[in-house]
Chain A
């Protein structure tokens, strides 16, 4: 194989006009779910699980925008979930329950936090960047634990979901599912447009070779910072939705472990494919949800006591599973899907 053939795929492929199969199937399946859910006999459960998948998928996708396309490993991304969530909780406790106020506030605060911390973090590179974003995430976490007026460590329960222009639109779970779906689809299409634009190409160029980008007249810093702000705002929106779904917020929204989970979802789905991040979030959450069940089934030969212990300690299986995924499933779910297609050769 010649050198030219090897360098071709990633950097020079123009955004193709053809519709890709995976995201199409993904979004169609999510759109069809509310219709099919009643057949399962546990409609409420299925819808709420899928809503959660979409919300965390949105957060993971926002992270993939900077991680996959800009190589910025933000280890404090859960902070934005917290900002979005606390925007709901704090405003609601002061009587402002309208999403038309809460969402703009959540987005504005997320953007401000991203702009300030991003400007500082982007001065550093590599592992220092990972650590400084982690530090900012921790700062916000401890700030939340000390907000005694808003629940402190214990968090606060929302009295009701947000209203939209005075109407209790989010109250119904099916409507909430629909709105979450629209948010996810909207940010997905927006992200795709961002990635395909000139802006996105500069971002990818800066990831591969920042010095070259500077030489041809771009300042990578500005592009990276703007991408960081956009990503933070999307995650803030996910935080708004998450708080509304749970009708509860607490500092646990933004522990560093949560940030780690978000990174994991992105990697699991396949770095640098936006719909991959959504698939990764789905796989992670479904695994977390059904692993205890699976262990229960797998332990059918054991005594009831041992079976119960196995189910209680499902994380002892979950942890090694995560390690095995990292070791053996390189390229994540999208990598596996891509490998099945014959026209794309492994280099």
Chain B
């Protein structure tokens, strides 16, 4: 376990955590404000990735692709809200889980129908290709650094929006006590549309950013959705700060755990058993982590005061 390797894994973990945060932010606000469980949030990430793939292929430029993909993802999110989600607000969680499950089934098949089942590749934009030396003999891909920078920038922007603007104030108030906010005469329905569309766009942005480093394929949103739920549950539902912290934690635990669990176990077990158990334990780490946190804090790290 060299320090260099550790550093690189930590950067990868940070990058993964920031992507998770972009997805979890919309999910946690939608949940906090409308008490709405949206399983289809993951497919919005997938849609973002597909849109950027399509627009990049069309314009031949990743920048233009991204610029076109974002408003399209926003429009798509609003369309889903009007068609499906609007009719589910006064239903219980179970109905919401099931109806949004139907949306997943539909959209996973729809992208297969439109783009085929084979994974798509999005080339890394030329300006951001290659690697830089960030320390002695330590090369790191520029594109991943760009994801980290973009993720941090969006997180910062979101922080300013949520804690220093009027809409942000309403969203925060809505996440803590929606009845009170609507009693004060705010149109919570419209507030929700804003939050929802914005959340869909953030998830789409996350999908678009990872498109060049992952393969774009049907179902790619399904597993990341579960991770985003893990993040918002650990963070405390409705809390942006909680989601940020939990996302970074999960990103680090997952990425660093995967590469170091076998090494750590080597202190206790013989090498062969250690690498085998390590490989088995690594993907489970975050779920163990989540169970442990919820055992001590049943409503997450930063529970909304109700």
Residues on A lying within 8 angstroms of B by beta carbon are 73, 75, 120, 123-128, 130-132, 134-136, 138-139, 142-143, 145-148, 256-257, 260, 263-264, 267, 271, 309, 313, 315-316, 318-323, 326-327
Contacts and interface: CB of A to CB of B under 8 A. Distances in A.
B288 A134 contact: no
Given A124-B299, A136-B287, A326 B280 contact: no
Interface stretch (B48-56, B105-113, B140-148, B198-206): B105-113
Contacts of A147: 280
A322 B102 contact: yes
A276 B268 CA distance: 51
Contacts of A322: 98-99, 101-102, 105
Contacts of A75: 97
Contacts of B279: 146, 148
Given A319-B104, A319-B106, A327 B99 contact: yes
Interface string B254-295: 000000000000000000000010011001100110110011
Nearest to B292: A120
Contacts of A130: 37, 93, 97
Given A130-B97, A322-B99, A326-B99, A120 B291 contact: yes
B298 A125 contact: yes
B226 A134 contact: yes
A146 B280 contact: yes
Nearest to A144: B280
Interface of B: 31, 37, 39, 84, 87-88, 91, 93-95, 97-99, 101-110, 112-113, 222, 226, 229-230, 233, 237, 276, 279-280, 283-284, 287-288, 290-291, 294-295, 298-300
A73 B94 contact: yes
A313 B113 contact: yes
Contacts of A267: 94-95, 98
B24 to A, nearest CB: 12
B95 A326 contact: yes
Given A132-B294, A323-B99, A313 B112 contact: yes
Contacts of A138: 226, 284, 287
B291 to A, nearest CB: 6
B299 to A, nearest CB: 6
Contact of A145 (B84, B98, B108, B283): B283
Given A130-B93, A146-B283, A323-B84, A316 B109 contact: yes
Contacts of B93: 73, 126-127, 130
B288 A131 contact: no
A315 B109 contact: yes
Contacts of A313: 109, 112-113
Nearest to A314: B109
Given A135-B290, A147-B280, A128 B87 contact: no
A319 B218 CA distance: 15
B94 A256 contact: no
Given A256-B226, A263-B98, A326-B98, A148 B106 contact: no
A316 B294 contact: no
B110 to A, nearest CB: 6
B94 to A, nearest CB: 6
Contacts of A136: 287, 291
A74 to B, nearest CB: 12
A128 B233 contact: yes
A73 B84 CA distance: 22
Contacts of B101: 260, 264, 322
A134 B39 CA distance: 13
Contacts of B113: 309, 313, 316
B103 A263 contact: no
Contacts of B291: 120, 132, 135-136, 139
